[in-house]
Chains A and B, each alone.
Chain A
Amino acid sequence: MALFPSSLATATALGYVALVCYAVSTGFYVAYLRRPRPAFGWTATGLAAAGAVMNLESLYARSAALHSVPYRDLVGSMALLGFFLAVISLLLEIRHRDRSLGPYLMPVVFLFLMVALLVPSSRTPPAPELKGAIFAFHVTLNMLAYAALAVACALSALYLVAGRALKGGKSLTTDGAASRLPSLRYLERANRTSLGVGVLASTCGFLLGVTWALRVWRPDHPSWALDPKIISVALILAFYWTVLVRAHRGAAPSTTARLSVLGFGLVIVSYTAINLFVSRLHAFYR
């Protein structure tokens, strides 16, 4: 239920409140990393949660004002992605009882929302096909998957950096930037959690997309399943499932980390290059 009146101005105002919450939360997370006082930690978490609530309210106000899903353009997509990143960051914090990821993830959340607030909003009405609950869930779950896989990619990169710093040799130190990173085991566990969320959300989103496509295209577009975007997503999904299963069976964490970074690279290619230049049937907004 909306707490604020529905208008684009309200959505923007709430977005800025969320932005401030994320910014101050980042400050407290960094302060907590340097000096782990419980008050800093709780304040950081509280502000991140408040930011996420405001972010969600902003999306809701935008949706109501547009009479459409809020992520019909880049502004809404980025704001939704920021929201999901904040939620995943909080979930990992609660699940693993560790705040050491906050200083790294909250700035990314802040960045996504800031870009969303600065980019001009699209005035074009949505295509008639882009409506209905199945479509809404399809996009929402895929956004959640992108956020989770982005977090997994970030965690993997941190794992590789921290692991390299700890490998020994002459560069081994007990201080420096790498010593402030979360522990390897935590990064490895959090990476598996994020991959799990991302793969499940992506699978559900994909299946809902297929269901929706069957309704929208039949019988005029029988070849929708051969669209490069659909094929690339299916392949990426299969790749991620393999990585996830291997990780749970005890594959070397550094290999999982490298594959996770590679996987997100493929997601970016699919989301941008394939979506914009190759796909024909999936890009409704053109």
Chain B
Amino acid sequence: MSSALVFLGWNHRATPLDLRERLAFSPERAREALEGLFREKVFSEGVIISTCNRAEIYGLTELEDGLTPLSQFLARFHGVDETLLLSTALSGRGDVTVRHLFEVASGLDSMVLGEAQILGQVREAHRRASEARTARTVTNRLFQAAIECGKRVRTETELGSKPTSVPGIALTLTGRIFESLAGCRVLLLGAGETVELTASLLVDAGVGDILFCNRSPEKATALAAKANGRTLPWEDRVSAFATVDIVLSATSSSEPVVRAEPVKKLLMHRSRRGPLLVLDLAVPRDIEPEVGDLPDVYRYDLDSLGALAKKNTADRQAEVPKAAVIVDESVRKFEEWLAGLSHVDVVKGLRGKLEELRLAELERYAGKMGKLGPDERELVQRITESLVAKILHGPTVGLKEGDPSERLERAAAVRALFRLDRLDGDKK
């Protein structure tokens, strides 16, 4: 059965952004695509994951070569040349599909190794497909197992525990200095893109007091109006160090705009209590490194943050073998479940179970049957055998009827209702 599971996708590794943009699916388009694939009998089940880094379609097909009609359909659907589409596509059948999805959910296939967002995106893709009833027995189980695998990787390894981006690291260090940004007063030096972005992040984090300070006051005024902040004359930038909790500097100045000596004098009469965080995100640096040597001043620049990002990335890389073991285990478990859904296996399991019950009951009444003659005992044997055969007839026929997805659904139901999994487990 596993050979019927296929996937076709485009991700950040091989596909350029402009093509990924053309191949992306909005939730409505994903539903349309899956309905089309159902209509054309390419898929009997399917789920689409579409994020900024990947567009991947997973499904169950009864076709010998399900990938060709799938790629033809998608070329038509997106209006993209099929050769171009296939030139950067990733695809797989059977356990390759299962392994790929599990790696995606674990963050092993992400642009930033171990990033956590993808697990939520896989969960969301599955939720949408379940609501649209395009995810059924096998794909439901596949995605549930993938989400479980992703969770295990996150809790049992350190793959996603350390930030690897400069903003992520800056945020982590900030959290270790201030338990919350809500009560902080922040000074922003400069008026470029970094300052603008930081201001909007600070507003989102609940910072109510932001001071903007720039050589040209017009730009600072415009930013302050957007972020509901205040402006400060450029000349007051150093004296402001005494009244703020955080300073972020990102000017385009070719030489430091804040020297250590005046800051040192100023901090002796600091009116703001507590530590001072200084983030220098400018190249070349805006704030003299000696500022970081002053007591209770924590200064980080792009060099120190970048070095930490590199170190954390290496640490994440070292966790990959542990994550791979979890993925292996999860793939094996899923494959075992999938193998158990074959018609022959289910009927065989059910027959074994009923035969076991029949013999157990005969054994239970063996004492009472001792009073019967040989012919009568033979008759009882035949009656019970016939009863088992009659009970089995319905499920045996039912498991062969309907479309592939329905057959699998029934097989899964029979396994669950008659507890055939437990039987297999006991035997093992």
Contact A168 B298 (CB under 8 A): yes
Contacts of A184 in B (CB 8 A): 176-178, 274-275
Tell me if A185 and B275 are in contact (CB < 8 A): yes
Chain B residues positioned under 8 Å from A250 (CB to CB): 269-273
Which residues of the other chain, B, contact A252 by a CB distance below 8 angstroms?
Answer: 267, 270, 295-296
Q: Which residues of B contact A (CB under 8 A)?
A: 161-163, 169, 172-173, 175-179, 245, 267, 269-275, 292, 295-296, 298-300, 304, 308, 311-312
- Cross-chain contact A168 with B300 (CB below 8 angstroms): yes
- Do the beta carbons of B304 and A98 come within 8 Å of each other? no
B296, A253: Cβ atoms under 8 Å? yes
- State A192–B274 Cα separation when bound (angstroms): 11
**A167 and B176 contacting across the interface, CB-CB below 8 Å:** no
Q: A175-B161, A183-B176, A184-B274 are in contact. List 19 more A-B contacts (CB 8 A).
A: A163-B298, A166-B173, A166-B176, A166-B177, A167-B292, A168-B292, A168-B298, A174-B163, A174-B172, A174-B308, A175-B162, A184-B176, A184-B178, A185-B178, A185-B179, A192-B273, A250-B272, A252-B296, A254-B296
Between A and B, 12 residue pairs with Cβ closer than 8 Å are A166-B176, A168-B304, A172-B304, A174-B169, A174-B172, A174-B312, A179-B172, A183-B176, A183-B177, A185-B275, A250-B269, A253-B273
Q: How far is the CB of A109 from chain B (nearest CB, A)?
A: 23
- Per the bound structure, the CA–CA distance linking A178 and B312 in Å amounts to 16
Shortest A188–chain B CB gap in Å is 5
A255 contacts chain B at the CB level, 8 A cutoff: yes
Write out the residue numbers on chain B whose beta carbons fall within 8 Å of the beta carbon of A168. 292, 298-300, 304
The residues of B that contact A282 with a CB separation of less than 8 Å are none
Question: A interface, how many residues as a size bin?
Answer: 20 to 34
Closest to A167 in B: B298
Question: Which residues of A (92-109) have their CB < 8 Å from a CB of B?
Answer: 98
Cβ of A166: which chain B residues have Cβ within 8 Å of it?
A: 173, 176-177, 298
A121 within 8 A of B: no
**B269 proximity list for chain A (CB < 8 A):** 250
Chain A residues contacting B300 (CB-CB under 8 Å) are: 168
Q: Please indicate the chain A residues that have their CB under 8 angstroms from the CB of B178 in the complex.
A: 183-185
Q: Inside 8 A of B163's CB, which chain A residues have their CB?
A: 174
Report B121 CB to chain A, min CB distance, Å: 24
Distance A250 CA – B176 CA, assembled complex (angstroms):
21
Chain B residues with Cβ under 8 A from A242's Cβ?
A: none
In angstroms, Cα B274 to Cα A247, docked, is 9
Give the chain A neighbours of B270 by CB distance below 8 A: 250, 252
Given A174-B308, A185-B178, verify A253-B172 contact (CB < 8 Å). no
Cα separation A248 to B161 with both chains bound (whole Å)? 37
Expressed in whole angstroms, the minimum distance between the Cβ of A212 and any Cβ of chain B is 37
A252 to B269, CA, bound (A): 9
Interchain nearest-CB distance for A159 vs B (Å):
9
Residues of chain A contacted by B176 (CB below 8 angstroms): 162, 166, 178-179, 181, 183-184
